[in-house]
Structure 1
Amino acid sequence: MDTTRQQKINKLIQKELGEIFRKQTQQMRGVLVSVSTVRVTPDLGLAKIYLSIFPSEKGKELLENIKANSKAVRFDLGQKVGKQLRIIPELAFYLDDSLDYLENIDRLLNTNNSKNNE
């Protein structure tokens, strides 16, 4: 269970990283990177960021690129939230594949329903 402070920092980081990724992917047509969840550790030293990437085929490639440039992303984040946070947490990026999971379940259910209707 996150404390109120952790929840506020989670939301702040989510909002600012979303804006950073929006600006970075603006040049890339047809690519969307959104920050679905942020979880900060109790000592505020590490932030686990879950990214939802569209199209999902490019997800792994973009995630590796983001991980390779995590120091630059952390610096950009520090520029935006430096007044609110004394220490900018280390950033760990993960792929949020919950939408793919939901699409797969939906596809399976539709396939199953069409077989039952025959």
Structure 2
Amino acid sequence: METNRQKKIGGVLQRDVADVIQHALREAGVQGILVSVTKVSVTTDLSIAKVYMSVFPHNEGEKVLNEVNAVKSQIKHQVAQRTKNQLRRMPELSYFIDDSLEYIDNIDKAIKGKENPLENPDLLPRRKKK
């Protein structure tokens, strides 16, 4: 269960990390890739923040994650400059790809496609009755 303080810090970091990453992508001249920070969860001692990014198109996710990790310290520094009036200590940032949108998209395609388990229940494994 997250405390209000963790949620507030997560919200501040989410906005600032998103701004910094999007600015870095623009400066690098990257075209056609959309990166958004979907969630930031902060540990109870406020020392580590997990940053979840959603990347579109999905197949660019690994590449973007590698590039973000390569400039991790610069991102942390820029975010620290923005949050210095709100945070005493800048948490360590860890980056992850949030594939929940892709997962939802796959479910949507499965339901709309030929293999619709709602119309053809034989596609689903049978539950064993006890």
- Common topology (TM > 0.5): yes
User: Structure 2: which 5+ residue stretches go unaligned?
Assistant: 120-130
Q: State the Cα distance separating 1:25 from its structure 2 match.
A: 1.9
SS at match of 1:49: strand
Deviations 1:51-90 (A, max 9, x none): 0011111110110111121111100110100111000000
Q: Identify the residue that residue 72 of structure 1 maps to in structure 2.
A: 74
1:110 matches 2:130? no
The TM-score normalised by the length of structure 2 is 0.84
Q: State the Cα distance separating 1:11 from its structure 2 match.
A: 0.3
1:1-118 pair list within 5 angstroms:
1-26=1-26, 27-111=29-113, 112-113=115-116
Q: List structure 1 segments (4+ residues) > 6 angstroms apart after TM superposition.
A: none
Cα distance between partner residues in 2 of 1:64 and 1:18: 16
Contact 1:25 1:32 in 2 (8 A): no
Structure number, greater radius of gyration = 2
Cα distance between partner residues in 1 of 2:35 and 2:74: 16
Please tell me the root mean square deviation across aligned C-alpha atoms, in Å: 1.4
The TM-score normalised by the length of structure 1 is 0.92
Q: State the Cα distance separating 1:44 from its structure 2 match.
A: 0.4
Q: Identity rate of aligned residues, in percent? A: 37
Q: State the Cα distance separating 1:32 from its structure 2 match.
A: 1.1
Aligned residues: 115
SS at match of 2:51: strand
